[in-house]
Amino acid sequence: MLASRRDFLHGLTALGAISLFSLERTEPELILYNGNVWTVDPRNPRAQAVAISSGRFLAVGSNDDVLHLAGGRAAKIDLGGKYVQPGFIDAHSHPAVAGLDHLRMVDCDLRSIAEIQKALRERATKTPPGGWVLGFKYDDTKASDNRPLTIQDLDAAVPDHPVFVEHRGGHTAWVNTLALRASKIDDATPDPVGGKYDRDPSTGRLTGHLREKAKTGLEELIPSQYTREDGREGVKLISKMMARTGITSVTDAFGTPDNLRAYQDARESGDLLLRIYCHIGYAFMDQMLAAGVKTGLGDEWVRVGAQKMLCEGSISERTARLSQPYIGRPNDFGIIVTPEDQLYEIARKAHAAGWQLGTHANGDVGIDMTLRVYERLQKEMPRRDPRYRIEHCTLINDSLVQRIKALGAIPTPFSTYVYYHGEKMREYGAERVDHMFALRSFLDAGIRPTQASDYPPGPFEPMMALRSEVTRTDAKGNVWGPKQKITVEEAIRVGTINGAYASYEENLKGSIEPGKLADLVVLGKDPFKTDPMDLINIPVERTMVGGKWVWEA
């Protein structure tokens, strides 16, 4: 069935984008045909061909219907029966920061402490005296040593430079003795509010492991080495890395004004290969409010997103605030980072100024607190369509799900954690994992969850997300939380149109429909006809954004 030109005209008129007159004269520039197109448009789910003009879909339908629209100049590409779907939308990750990290920091995603030491030592030899050696993507559960890094490991590897190694999850870090000294932190320093310096229980001495506000506090003392040009280069790098996996849009979940500028710079230089919805960290909001900026400013390439707030801890680092303690640590319930009254005050200002709100909340205690703040705001200052976001929204229960539904809030659960961080799930326990990354519960309740990697904390490959969400298996095949399995069709919907909804762009992208942005991905295999355990191995052959190929294998 052809979604007709009339539908298209109607759609565009609704968008108010182009006049009818100029449309009547529009010829497609490009036609993709002989495809196996999954559109994510329930009225027209399958198609063979699409026509594209000015970066948007002009027509979607059978080969016959679409090919006859070709004028003399239209390029035609035979897809040879390949599977096509809308590009994936990663609704929560940290592209600008990750790009900079990849440019300048030591990638500690290595499988032994000795390898990490070697990588840090090599970097130290190229670092001027007194300069910091910085690492990221260290994961305490991935090294074959079966123990976390220690301050002694770091002192032995790099004795003459301060070292800071961030955990993959971003909420904790490990430092050496020189880093503590440079930051004027010693055994007598008390824990900051919302954070913790780990201490050896027998001696009381610092172990160099910093959690939450203890980590961010020290991090702020590290002199920034980044220029404006670095920011653009970082976006260019991460853009390429993500485009080749089929991602066409990303929400930056904690942007700064520098990050926002870096996206714009990369766009101007032609290096931005994906669309950005840029949340702004609450610490920068005074600048934003003073400039009269609010959510939605920008265009389909770079747009201002929600105000981002932080309620509590991390899942991959096991600091999320839970109502029941961690398995094996009866007194550890995790960490609240921002007290509720403070969270409310931060949220109220932005809400009053017309901003969407996004709050990082993982544990059931944090989600409850975040919902209470949103419910209070909606009562005191009702907004028609606030689309409150609960970033991550990991551990739920029935009553939280009902409140999320009642508020129309949007959860952005981790898409690749079951697969990639499976070994950490033991600390939550099998029963609890049945209520984590709870896509089944959200969908059954009529809520619109998104796909979200949180990269660097989680890998961003959408094919890994599909395997994780559909099978709930980790890399070794262990099943975690089987009650939360969803179908391939649902996972694709979560990874496309739901992501668009979360940024108020469901009329612009997220499905292959006339009038929408021509963002799509061509896969080497049809996920509907693939063994779910093999979804992760489906190759991404081509990625298109705005009618242009940004990745071709």
Which residues contribute to the site for Zn ion (CB under 5 A)? 253, 454
Report which residue type is found at 298: G
* Least distance to Zn ion, CB of residue 459, Å: 14
Report the half-sphere exposure of 333 (CA within 13 A, side-chain side). Answer: 8
CA separation for the pair 132, 113 (Å, rounded): 19
127 vs 359, beta carbon nearer Zn ion:
359
β-bridge pairing 548-552 and 49-53: unpaired
* Least distance to Zn ion, CB of residue 454, Å: 4
Q: Show the tokens assigned to 502.
A: 């979360």
Q: Scanning the structure block, which residue is given the tokens 């009702």? A: 382
92 vs 472, beta carbon nearer Zn ion:
92
457 vs 532, beta carbon nearer Zn ion:
457
* Least distance to Zn ion, CB of residue 457, Å: 7
253 vs 404, beta carbon nearer Zn ion:
253
Which phi and psi (to 5°) does residue 338 adopt?
-120, 120
* Least distance to Zn ion, CB of residue 292, Å: 27
464 vs 538, beta carbon nearer Zn ion:
464
* Least distance to Zn ion, CB of residue 55, Å: 30
253 vs 436, beta carbon nearer Zn ion:
253
* Least distance to Zn ion, CB of residue 379, Å: 28
86 vs 358, beta carbon nearer Zn ion:
358
The interaxial angle of helices 228-243 and 257-268, nearest 10 deg, is: 70
Per-residue DSSP letter, 512: -
Report which residue type is found at 531: D
* Least distance to Zn ion, CB of residue 508, Å: 24
Strands across the sheet containing 172-175: 106-107, 133-138, 163-167, 172-175, 206-212, 195-199
Residues 6+ apart with CB under 8 A from 444: none
The Cα-based distances of 392 to 93, 327, 450 in angstroms read 11, 21, 10
* Least distance to Zn ion, CB of residue 462, Å: 17
Alpha-carbon Rg of the chain, whole angstroms? 24
420 close to 464: Cβ distance less than 8 angstroms: yes
The residues facing 165 across adjacent strands are: 135, 174
85 vs 412, beta carbon nearer Zn ion:
412
197 vs 284, beta carbon nearer Zn ion:
284
Q: Show the tokens assigned to 426.
A: 């033991």
* Least distance to Zn ion, CB of residue 391, Å: 6
Residues 6+ apart with CB under 8 A from 152: none
44 vs 338, beta carbon nearer Zn ion:
338
Query: What is the number of H-type helices and E-type strands within the chain?
Result: 20, 23
23 close to 68: Cβ distance less than 8 angstroms: no
Handedness of CA 324, 328, 330, 334 (dihedral sign): negative
89 vs 206, beta carbon nearer Zn ion:
89
CA separation for the pair 423, 119 (Å, rounded): 25
82 vs 279, beta carbon nearer Zn ion:
279
Per-residue DSSP letter, 475: T
* Least distance to Zn ion, CB of residue 408, Å: 22
Residues 6+ apart with CB under 8 A from 263: 96, 235, 252, 272, 276, 278, 302
65 vs 312, beta carbon nearer Zn ion:
312
Torsion, Cα 86 91 94 99, to 10 degrees, reads: 0
Q: Scanning the structure block, which residue is given the tokens 């992760």? A: 536
* Least distance to Zn ion, CB of residue 434, Å: 23
State in Å, rounded, how far the first CA of the chain is from the last one.
31
Peptide bond connecting 456 to the previous residue in cis, omega within 30 degrees of 0: yes
